[in-house]
Amino acid sequence: MNTNPEEDFEDEEVEMFEHYRIIIDKGQTLTRIDKFLSEKIANATRNKVQQAIDAGSVLVNGSPTKANYKIKPLDDIRVMLEKPPKETEVYSENIPLDIIYEDPYLLLVNKPPGMVVHPAHGNWSGTLVNGLVYYFENLPEMKGNTGRPGLVHRIDKDTSGLLVIAKTEEAMTHLASQFFHHTIDRTYIALVWGEPNEDEGTITGNVGRSAKNRKVMDVFPEGDQGKHAVTHWKVLKRLRYVTLIQCNLETGRTHQIRAHMKYLGHPLFNDAMYGGDKIRKGTQFSKYKTFVQNCFDLMPRQALHAQSLGFIHPTTKEKLFFEVPLPSDFQSVLDKWESYVNFE
C-alpha cells in the first residue's frame, strides 16, 4: 500500500498542502475511510480528515466521497491535507498590511510589489507571513494560530495584488479545495511587449521547470513534460509597442502567466527572468530607448498585478468577489506609455 506524498506539486496554490495517493490492498477489509486515513497518514486526525472530505479534497476512484464510505480492495484514493506547521519558528514583525476585508474566518490582503510571501532561504524576515504572525498575535481570538497564518496560495515577490488568508483550519481546507479544483476566479492585469494579432485567446501548454535553469518555467506544448496549464487572455488597451492585457487563470502553475506570455512571443514588460527587461519592440531612436529605460526604472519588476479574486465563502457559502486597483508604479508606467503614444 502506497501512502507516500506525491512529490511533484510545485504550484502556487498547493505548496502548503500534502498530496497522497493510496491504492488499497486486495486483502483490505471494509473500513470507514475517515478512520482508515487518520490511522494511515501521519499528523492526520480523524476530524482533519473529515473536514477534508467535506471540502471535496478526498477522492475515491476520481470522485468525492463521504466520511462513512467504506473502502474496498483496489480503491484508488487521493487526499489533499494541510501540511503540519514546521518546527522552524517564524518571527513576528510589525509590518503594515493592506487588509481590504476581514471576518472571523478569512482576510484579504493587497500585497505590494517587492514583498516576499513567506520565509525561505535568503528571505527569513520582512515577508507577508512575518507580518501576518504579528497581526494574529494581536488578535485575542486568534490564539493558537500563531506561526501558521493560513496561507492558501502565493504570488511572486515582484507581483502585486490580492491574496486570501484563512484564519481557521476549516476555512483553509475549503479554500484549498477551491484552488485545487480550479473554481477560484482570478484575474491578473499585465503589460506585455508587442501587440497580439488577436484581441483575445487561450494558451494551453504544459508548464514545467526548465532543464537549463531551474528557476525558470518552460512551456511544453506537446504535453510530454510539466503540468497542464491554461491561461485565457484578452486585450484591454493597445499602446503601439506594448499592450495591456487581462489574464484569467484556469490553472495556477508557478510563473504560469509569465511563461505562457513569453511562449506566445509577448513577454511581460521588464520581466528579467523571461526576457522582458530588454526592448522587444519599437524604434532605434535614443529618445525611445531613454523613455523605455525610464519606465524600467520607475517599475523595476515584471508588470503583473493580481487584480481580483472570486470564491465561495467557506462558512456562509456566499459568493464573494474582491478587486484592487493597479499599484502606483504600474499605473505610472501605464500613464507614461499612453502619453508617449498620444504625443509621439
> Per the residue annotation, which of 11, 34, 75, 156 is the catalytic one?
156
In angstroms, rounded to a whole number, what is the distance separating the alpha carbons of residues 193 and 190? 10
In angstroms, rounded to a whole number, what is the distance separating the alpha carbons of residues 170 and 175? 9
Which of 317, 310, 241 lies closest to 282 in space, CA to CA?
241
Cell reading at 168: 481557521
Residue 156 known to be catalytic = yes
- Binning the chain into helix, strand and coil, the percentages to the nearest 5 are 25, 30, 45
In angstroms, rounded to a whole number, what is the distance separating the alpha carbons of residues 309 and 93? 26
Q: What is the secondary structure of 232-295 as a DSSP string? A: EEEEEEEETTEEEEEEEESS--TTHHHHHHHHHT-PBTT-GGGTTTS--SS---HHHHHHHHHH
In angstroms, rounded to a whole number, what is the distance separating the alpha carbons of residues 329 and 82? 35
Strands (E), the chain: 17-23, 31-32, 58-60, 63-64, 70-71, 76-82, 99-102, 106-111, 160-166, 185-193, 200-204, 206-209, 217-220, 230-239, 242-249, 304-312, 319-323
Residues facing 5 on adjacent strands: 20
Residues serving a catalytic function are 156
